């Protein structure tokens, strides 16, 4: 339900919706490092395996990409919490951008759940399911956020 009162309050003063420049850059940097490390792991894993004397041998870089990814995943949790407090709840109350914003939140929760499962699933089949559910959705994250940002800016410009 749209709440006209909120719409006016938050719509006129954009500040509560936006992260400070420094924090925004930090959130973007963490996001790109997260995505790139996941993508780099995929490239190593699916394209850079070499045939060694004991079968398929992973690239020596592969575990490093995963370590970076794991570290950035913690950073992403911090970013998500920050964004939740500064942007998401206030944005929701404006009634705008709910579809792409809501889907982005859903995707983040999905990545957190499927990522968490990777630590503890030991059954090969179920681990495989979780890995696939994790990275296919993960690769699409920047596209989704780009649509959200572009639509958000266009709307903000039209209003101004
Ligand atoms: C339910 C969830 C969300 C809602 C309702 C929402 C709402 C909005 C709205 C209304 C705008 C336009 C801002 C304006 O008019 O000034 C916007 C822009 C934006 N949103 Fe969201 N958002 C959500 C989730 C997210 C998430 C999860 C992220 C990133 C992690 C995000 C990042 C951004 C960015 C970077 C902009 C562009 C700001 C700019 O540079 O002008 N949003 N969002
Ligand atoms: C909030 C977002 C994310 C979180 C919390 C997260 C978390 C995790 C965690 C905890 C792992 C397991 C690390 C380990 O086994 O040591 C993992 C693995 C992985 N993630 Fe993410 N991740 C996120 C986003 C992404 C994105 C955007 C991509 C896509 C580029 C991605 C691709 C991968 C891949 C390819 C693996 C390795 C799978 C394997 O070990 O078989 N993740 N992630």
> What backbone torsions phi and psi does residue 145 show, to the nearest 5 degrees?
-65, -35
pTM reported for the whole predicted model: 0.87
Contact 140, 147 (CB under 8 A): no
Among protein residues, the one with the nearest Cα to ligand 1's atom 34 is: 149
User: Would you state the pLDDT for residue 16?
Assistant: 60
What does the alpha-carbon distance between residue 90 and residue 37 come to, in Å, rounded to a whole number?
31
Atom of ligand 2 nearest to the CA of 116: 10
48's CB contacts (< 8 A; 6+ apart) are 59, 61, 62
| 9-52 pLDDT, tens digit each | 444 455 568 889 999 999 999 999 999 999 999 999 998 888 87
**Residue 154 CA to chain centroid, in angstroms?**
22
pLDDT at 4 over 60: no
pLDDT digits (tens, 9 = 90+) for 99-152: 999 999 999 999 999 999 999 999 999 999 999 999 999 999 999 999 999 998
Q: Where exactly are the structural domains of the chain?
A: 4-159
pLDDT at 14 (0 to 100) = 53
DSSP class of 58: -
Residue among 122, 138, 139, 140 whose CB has most ligand 2 atoms within 8 A, to mutate: 138
């Amino acid at each position: 339900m749209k709440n006209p009162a909120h719409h006016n309050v938050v719509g006129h003063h954009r500040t509560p919706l936006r992260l400070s420049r420094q924090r925004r850059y930090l959130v973007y940097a963490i996001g790109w490092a997260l995505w790139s490390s996941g993508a780099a792991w995929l490239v190593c894993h699916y394209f850079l395996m070499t045939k060694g004397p004991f079968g398929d041998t992973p690239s020596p870089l592969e575990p490093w990409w995963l370590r970076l990814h794991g570290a950035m995943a913690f950073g992403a949790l911090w970013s998500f919490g920050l964004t939740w407090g500064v942007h998401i709840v206030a944005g929701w109350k404006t009634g705008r951008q709910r579809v792409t914003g809501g889907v982005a939140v859903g995707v983040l929760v999905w990545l957190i759940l499927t990522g968490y499962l990777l630590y503890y699933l030991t059954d090969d089949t179920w681990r495989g399911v979780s890995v696939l559910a994790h990275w296919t959705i993960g690769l699409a994250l920047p596209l989704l956020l780009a649509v959200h940002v572009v639509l958000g800016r266009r709307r903000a410009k039209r209003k101004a």
